[in-house]
A = this chain, B = another copy of it.
Amino acid sequence: MLAKSSTEIVRQQNSGLVLAQLRRHGPLSHTELSDRTGLSSATVSAITAELERHQVIERQEQAPPAGRGRPRVSFTQRRECGYLIAVRISSDQLEYSLVDYGGTLIDRLEETRRGQDEARSFASALRNTIERLCERSSLSLGEIRVVSISSKGLVDPLQPVLLWSPVFGDVSVDFSAIRGGGLEPDILLSNETRLVAGALARIVERQADERGTLPPRALCALSLGHGIGLGIAHLDPSGEYQVAAPDFGHMLHLANGGLCRCGSIGCIEATAGFYGILRTAFEVPSDTIPARFVPIIEMEKLAANARRGDRQAQFAFRQAGLALGQGLGRMQSLNEKMPVYFTGPGVRFYDLMERGLMEGLGQSRAIRREGMPELHIILDETALVFAGHLDLALGHMDRTAISASQE
């Protein structure tokens, strides 16, 4: 059912527009804001005045008067308006980043995982580190407005609960437990590849904007590693990208396929993940319980063998490509044609998987109809994950900026 509308919502929407432009296109003056948003000059005045009053934005004092006339005064977000902490959970470490409202990295901290953490105490351990991070930069806990957490695995779409992850398996982790004692941030939990897709969506949006072309209606990021992650960004009717991270790695590839670390049989990951590739390469029975961790050096060795002509190694990579191709083809049958961006440590074996990938893609009617999707390779996944964190968390702060400062 439709929701009722009101003039206040109009203001909220248009304030959001102003903040979004400010975030994406650096400091902007009154006139530039008016041009970019399409709002009238008078409206921009009203909105910037309100945002200034709430100390969300501020005027940049330095003015390099370019030409004649009254010099422009630029607005920027007030960096101290609020802070976010991005936490990236990976199999071997935890990376914490403290970032201000302007998007500037203030502090970073890495913890190597000590063996197996308790899923139960994990949230409180995380909270401790957040406290430490705040102390180091002498911030009060109340100034942390958003904690954005990412992990590989499956995430509850409504609550900050990690349902399945390579680290904790089926033991779910509820991150709302980090709240309390002055720390009351909004908590955003995302699948890691979802963040990559979100960051890519922002990038292609900007490119389309600069070139004056239409942004693509959808795109996806496919992260290759020990497991397989997929993030899809879709342009919704309002012109915003909606990003989701379905459980692609555990989509059924073959009913009589290999045993997956999730306990099911025939998942894509069980053939295309690192452990699946190794299992095929060394002709280990496919119902063998897969290795929990494979050093990348092992994969490099295998790839070297394959490139040197080892048939069984080549076969393993091709089977992986085939599984990915068939999966992507199936995804394209259920969605529309979209470019695919490969990321993750596995992309360095892309050459070995390419033949299988093409074969698998070609088997889908959807691909044969609409043609091969654009395929891109992205090497720096880490940067995109961080960009995705910022995009998500800062966007969230923008949307809640006025209401949050009213308290």
Across the interface, A251 reaches (CB within 8 A) one of B3, B267, B330, namely B330
Q: A2-B13, A10-B9, A16-B2 are in contact. Are A365 and B329 (CB under 8 A)?
A: no
A240 near B2 with CB under 8 A, answer yes
In the complex, the chain B residue whose C-beta lies closest to that of A157 is B336
Q: Taking each of A154, A262, A266, A364, which has the highest tally of chain B beta carbons within 10 Å of its own beta carbon?
A: A364
B17 near A365 with CB under 8 A, answer no
Q: In the assembled complex, which residues on chain B have CB atoms less than 8 Å from the CB atom of A260?
A: 365
A333 near B252 with CB under 8 A, answer yes
A311 interfacial contact with B, CB 8 Å: no
In the complex, the chain B residue whose C-beta lies closest to that of A163 is B369
Which of A137-145, A188-196, A242-250 lies at the interface with chain B?
A242-250
A250 near B366 with CB under 8 A, answer yes
Q: A365-B247, A366-B247 are in contact. Are A5 and B1 (CB under 8 A)?
A: no
Q: Is the interface of A mostly helix, strand, loop or mixed?
A: mixed
A205 interfacial contact with B, CB 8 Å: yes
A368 interfacial contact with B, CB 8 Å: yes
Min distance, Cβ A230 to any Cβ of chain B, angstroms:
8
Across the interface, A252 reaches (CB within 8 A) one of B17, B336, B365, namely B365
Docked CA distance A91–B282 (Å): 53
Q: In the assembled complex, which residues on chain B have CB atoms less than 8 Å from the CB atom of A164?
A: 369
Q: In the assembled complex, which residues on chain B have CB atoms less than 8 Å from the CB atom of A13?
A: 2, 4-5
A238 near B3 with CB under 8 A, answer yes
Q: A20-B1, A239-B1, A240-B1 are in contact. Are A334 and B331 (CB under 8 A)?
A: yes
Docked CA distance A5–B37 (Å): 10
Residues of A359-378 whose CB lies within 8 A of B = 360, 363-366, 368-369
- Please, what's the 1-or-0 string for A324-344, where 1 marks a CB less than 8 Å from any CB in chain B? 001001110111100000000
Across the interface, A248 reaches (CB within 8 A) one of B3, B238, B333, B360, namely B333
In the complex, the chain B residue whose C-beta lies closest to that of A17 is B2
Docked CA distance A196–B211 (Å): 40
A264 interfacial contact with B, CB 8 Å: yes
Q: Taking each of A2, A14, A260, which has the highest tally of chain B beta carbons within 10 Å of its own beta carbon?
A: A2
Residues of A199-244 whose CB lies within 8 A of B = 205, 209, 236-240, 242
Q: Taking each of A10, A242, A267, A330, which has the highest tally of chain B beta carbons within 10 Å of its own beta carbon?
A: A330
Docked CA distance A6–B368 (Å): 44
A39 interfacial contact with B, CB 8 Å: yes
A265 interfacial contact with B, CB 8 Å: yes
In the complex, the chain B residue whose C-beta lies closest to that of A16 is B2
- Please, what's the 1-or-0 string for A299-338, where 1 marks a CB less than 8 Å from any CB in chain B? 0000000000000000000000000001001110111100
In the complex, the chain B residue whose C-beta lies closest to that of A1 is B239
Residues of A65-110 whose CB lies within 8 A of B = none
A112 interfacial contact with B, CB 8 Å: no
A7 interfacial contact with B, CB 8 Å: yes
Min distance, Cβ A259 to any Cβ of chain B, angstroms:
12
Across the interface, A2 reaches (CB within 8 A) one of B20, B250, B266, namely B20
In the complex, the chain B residue whose C-beta lies closest to that of A8 is B10
A251 near B363 with CB under 8 A, answer no
Q: In the assembled complex, which residues on chain B have CB atoms less than 8 Å from the CB atom of A20?
A: 1-2
A42 interfacial contact with B, CB 8 Å: no
Known A-B contacts: A247-B333, A247-B334. Give 19 more (CB < 8 A).
A1-B239, A2-B20, A3-B238, A3-B239, A4-B14, A4-B37, A4-B38, A154-B369, A163-B369, A164-B369, A236-B236, A246-B335, A247-B365, A250-B365, A252-B333, A252-B363, A252-B365, A265-B363, A330-B330
Interface CB pairs A-B, < 8 A, 20: A2-B238, A2-B239, A4-B13, A4-B17, A4-B37, A7-B10, A154-B369, A163-B369, A236-B236, A246-B335, A250-B333, A250-B366, A251-B364, A252-B326, A252-B329, A252-B364, A252-B365, A264-B364, A265-B363, A267-B365
